[in-house]
């Protein structure tokens, strides 16, 4: 049995949970795991494609978050992006250790589908940001979208993307730069409104 | 684009730096440029925010049954095994912490502020003003059927007590009743709910104290026990 925790449904801010974790409060740890387990597992599964490995990576992600909760700085980003970055890095490390083959670049397109199709409650955490970015992502050219997602989510370098896409290195670099810049511009424009 | 009096700004590499995919000498060179160029510093900061936020678009997938329990056990194991704990810059790593059953001062302070703002539901009732709010307690137990874990039961006490049943795909579908077996031998009927083919979640408020609960059981229409959680 697991004892301790915050009642389900309580909207205790992430920062409060991380503050609790930083000083060893089990309840805060449980609540944090409960809040983000599906997101972390989902990202790991999307990168690795193996449920067993994805669970291992997801669990290790929460162990890392527990250990380093005290150095989380809300001024440098939100808790979910911090946590998901840990998960992404662990998944990429796991993939490289296993010498996994690069995934089909079309697989990266799950991101746009997920962002546009999911019900609003699933994007409640970082919902506005996710929606704006999802719209911007859908609006940029497909080749730029693939390049950006392969780099941002799958950790692929420009050289690796060039090989995957069978394009010159310069073209891969250009697609990454143009895609990311357009996303930045689109999100900035929406923020004005 | 170039910064006044210097080398051209590395636009392509700046995006790769923001995405964390730049390595080796190229990375060192770009970092050296960024350290001197305010324009690139601003550009990098903006691109890095977008790069990080892209992860928010990742799909949400239902974690495997029992993931929460296994993860918490792993956190406990990390504690027992003496993992180092990062206390931030300038602080040496500490030995393993002990899980704390009571709210420690910092977390308590945060929650008290939240309660005072009406955000939380942890504040004392009007008749108990002046008392320290009690920490909500949660008991989480696996729900088993035929030796297999099919879900979990959570009992939460925070002023009132309620019981939440989560059933995964492994139990089958149909109408079930939920009963609580108390430590004094009594059996309390809690209610009925429908289990769908993809599982269900159901909750009920309890009159009994959580400490009185020995187990929760799901019964089929004929009264046979189909799943049990030992509390």
Q: Quote the ipTM score.
A: 0.83
Residues of each domain in chain B carrying CATH 2.60.40.200: 137-230
Q: Give the separation between CA A53 and CA B113, rounded to whole angstroms.
A: 40
Residue among B52, B111, B230 whose CB faces A77 most closely: B52
Q: What is the mean pLDDT of residues B93-119?
A: 40
pLDDT of the residue at B50: 92
Q: Are residues A77 and A8 in the same domain?
A: yes
Q: Does B61 touch chain A (CB under 8 A)?
A: yes
Q: Centre a 10 Å sphere on the Cβ of residue A35 and count the other Cβ atoms it contains.
A: 20
* Domain end (from A72, A100, A128): A100
Distance, in Å, from the CA atom of B71 to the CA atom of A29, rounded to the nearest integer, reads 10
pLDDT tens track for B59-96:
888 899 889 989 988 888 877 765 444 444 444 344 44
At residue A59, the pLDDT reads 95
pLDDT in the model for residue B116? 40
- Non-local CB neighbours of B219 within 8 Å, separated by 6+ positions: B176, B177, B178, B179, B225, B226
Instruction: Chain B: give the shortest CA distance to residue A114, in Å.
Output: 5
Q: Is the pLDDT of residue B26 over 90?
A: no
CATH of the domain at A76: 1.10.1740.10
Identify whether residues A96 and A35 lie together within a single domain. Answer: yes
Residues 127-156 of B with CB under 8 A from A: 135-141, 154, 156
Q: Report the pLDDT value the prediction gives residue A170, as an integer from 0 to 100.
A: 94
Same structural domain for residues A126 and A191? yes
Q: Give the domain CATH number at A160.
A: 1.10.10.10
Segment A117-124 long-range contacts (CB within 8 Å, at least 24 positions apart): A118/B59, A118/B60, A122/B60, A123/B56
Q: How confident is the model at residue B98 (pLDDT cuts 50, 70, 90)?
A: very low
One domain for residues A87 and A131? no
Asked if the model's pLDDT at residue B99 lies above 70, the reply is no
More confident residue, B134 or A100: A100
Q: Are residues A27 and A107 in the same domain?
A: no
Same domain, A151 and A166: yes
pLDDT of residue B20 exceeding 80, the answer is yes
Least confident piece of the model among A73-77, A138-142, B1-5, B50-54: B1-5
Residue A179: give the domain boundaries.
103-193
pLDDT, position A172: 96
Q: How far is B220 from chain A (nearest CA, A)?
A: 25
Is the distance from CB of B36 to CB of A5 less than 8 angstroms?
no
Nearest to A127 by CA among A10, A8, A7, A39: A39
CA distance B190 to chain A (A): 19
**CA distances from residue B204 to B52, B214, B229 in whole angstroms, order as listed:** 39, 17, 16
The answer to whether residues A25 and A64 belong to one domain is yes
Is A128 found in the same domain as A96? no
Would you say residue B206 has pLDDT above 70?
yes
Residue B173: the pLDDT is 78
Last residue in a domain, options A74, A100, A126: A100
What's the CA gap between A126 and A166, in Å, rounded? 35
Class of domain B137-230: mainly beta
Mean pLDDT of B52-65: 87
Same domain, A3 and A85: yes
pLDDT tens column, A19-76: 888 888 888 889 899 999 999 999 998 888 889 999 999 999 999 999 888 888 877 7
Alpha-carbon distance B231 to B212, whole Å?
A: 9
- Contact call for A37 and B63, based on CB within 8 A: yes
Helix runs in B92-193, H state only: 105-116
Q: Are residues A13 and A65 in the same domain?
A: yes
Mark which of A44, A73, A100 sits at the end of a domain. Answer: A100
CA A122 vs CA A35, A127, B162: distances in Å = 11, 8, 24
Contact A12 B111 (CB under 8 A): yes
Q: Give me the torsion for CA of B54, B56, B60, B65, rounded to 10°.
A: 120
Give me the phi and psi of A54, to 5 degrees please: -65, -40
Residue among B19, B52, B59 minimizing CB distance to A42:
B59
A79-130 pLDDT per residue, tens: 999 999 999 999 988 887 765 555 554 554 555 454 444 544 444 455 677 7
Per-residue confidence (pLDDT) for residue A110, from 0 to 100: 55
Are B136 and A187 an interchain contact pair (Cβ–Cβ within 8 Å)? no
**Range with the poorest average pLDDT among A36-45, A133-142, B92-101, B123-132:** B123-132
Inspect the interface and report whether the beta carbons of A26 and B101 lie closer than 8 Å: yes
Chain B CB contacts of A125 under 8 Å are: 56
Q: Which residues of B touch A151 (CB under 8 A)?
A: 16, 19, 21
> From the CA of A102, how many Å to the nearest CA of chain B?
15
- What's the structural domain count of chain A? 2
Question: Across all residues in chain B, what is the average pLDDT?
Answer: 72
pLDDT tens figures, A178-192:
999 999 998 877 554
Closest to B72 (Cβ–Cβ): which among A7, A30, A67? A30
Percent of chain B having pLDDT more than 90?
A: 11
Residue A74, pLDDT score: 79
pLDDT category, B163, cuts 50, 70, 90? Answer: confident
Residue B133's pLDDT is 36
d(CA A106, CA B55): 17
Residues A87 and A145 in one domain: no
**Do A59 and A11 belong to one domain?**
yes
């Amino acid at each position: 049995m697991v004892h301790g925790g915050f009642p389900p449904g309580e909207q205790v801010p992430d920062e409060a949970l991380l503050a609790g974790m930083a000083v060893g409060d089990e309840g805060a740890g449980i609540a944090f795991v409960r809040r983000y387990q599906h997101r972390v597992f989902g990202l790991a599964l999307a990168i690795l494609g193996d449920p067993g490995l994805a669970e291992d990576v997801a669990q290790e992600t929460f162990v890392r978050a527990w250990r380093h909760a005290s150095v989380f700085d809300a001024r440098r980003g939100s808790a979910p992006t911090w946590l998901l970055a840990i998960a992404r890095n662990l998944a990429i490390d796991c993939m490289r250790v296993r010498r996994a083959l690069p995934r089909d670049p079309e697989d990266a397109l799950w991101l746009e589908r997920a962002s546009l199709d999911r019900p609003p409650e699933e994007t409640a955490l970082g919902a506005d940001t996710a929606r704006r970015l999802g719209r911007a992502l859908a609006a940029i050219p497909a080749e730029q979208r693939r390049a950006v997602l392969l780099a941002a989510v799958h950790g692929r370098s420009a050289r690796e993307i060039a090989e995957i896409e069978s394009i010159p290195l310069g073209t891969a670099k250009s697609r990454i730069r143009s895609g990311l810049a357009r996303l930045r511009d689109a999100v900035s424009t929406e923020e004005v409104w | 684009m170039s910064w006044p009096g210097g080398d051209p700004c590395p636009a392509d590499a700046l995006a790769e730096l923001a995405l964390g995919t730049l390595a080796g000498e190229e990375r060192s060179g770009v970092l050296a440029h960024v350290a001197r160029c305010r324009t690139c510093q601003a550009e990098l900061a903006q691109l890095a925010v977008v790069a990080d936020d892209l992860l928010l678009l990742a799909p949400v997938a239902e974690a495997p049954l029992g993931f929460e329990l296994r993860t918490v056990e792993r956190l406990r194991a990390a504690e027992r095994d003496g993992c180092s704990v990062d206390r931030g810059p300038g602080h040496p790593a500490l030995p393993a912490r002990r899980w704390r059953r009571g709210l420690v001062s910092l977390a308590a302070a945060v929650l008290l502020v939240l309660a005072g703002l009406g955000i939380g539901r942890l504040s004392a009732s009007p008749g108990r003003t002046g008392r320290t709010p009690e920490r909500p307690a949660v008991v989480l137990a696996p729900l088993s059927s035929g030796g297999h874990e099919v879900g979990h039961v959570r009992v939460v006490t925070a002023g009132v007590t309620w019981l939440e049943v989560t059933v995964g795909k492994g139990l089958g579908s149909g109408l079930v009743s939920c009963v609580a077996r108390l430590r004094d031998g009594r059996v309390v009927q809690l209610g009925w709910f429908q289990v769908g083919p993809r599982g269900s979640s159901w909750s009920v408020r309890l009159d009994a104290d959580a400490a009185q609960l020995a187990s929760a059981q799901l019964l089929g229409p004929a009264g046979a026990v189909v799943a049990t959680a030992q509390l």
